[in-house]
Amino acid sequence: MRNQRAINLTPEQQGAIRSELQKTLPRFTDLQWQLSSEEEALDALLKLSRPDEKNALTQLDKVLAIENEMKRLQLGMMLNIKSVLTIEQQNSLRELRKQGPRKGGAGQQPPPPPRPEEQ
């Protein structure tokens, strides 16, 4: 988002990227909430003086499944956005990343959305 002018995004590309984000972010937020809940449940099991191995491993599987879905969602979004960009725009972004984040207030990347336990 912060480099859209630097790579000359067209209005059509901006719309396609915005649409992809609007499609993906609600599901990602839902998964963050689920992950937080399942991590809390796992933590509670592990705090027991004698945790049941089967229950703990089953709970771990739930946590890992959600994390896996989140990673797949992120990668899918990234691939869909990348397909909207021209080769030149992709190369420009690669060069901008090599330069590192820009200094100063304007153009800095916004902080990531808060995790459910922070809300």
Mean pLDDT value of segment 34-50: 98
Contact 4, 14 (CB under 8 A): yes
Q: Which pLDDT tens digit goes with each residue over 52-92?
A: 999 999 999 999 999 999 999 999 999 999 999 999 999 99
pLDDT for 49 equals 97
pLDDT for 102 equals 61
pLDDT for 31 equals 98
Query: Which amino acid makes up residue 62?
Result: K
How many Å apart are CA 110 and CA 96, to the nearest integer?
17
**pTM for this structure?**
0.74
Q: Which domains does the chain have, with CATH numbers?
A: 9-85 (1.20.120.1490)
Angle between helices 11-47 and 53-84 (to 10 degrees): 170
Instruction: Choose among 12, 14, 20: nearest CA to 1.
Output: 14
pLDDT for 1 equals 72
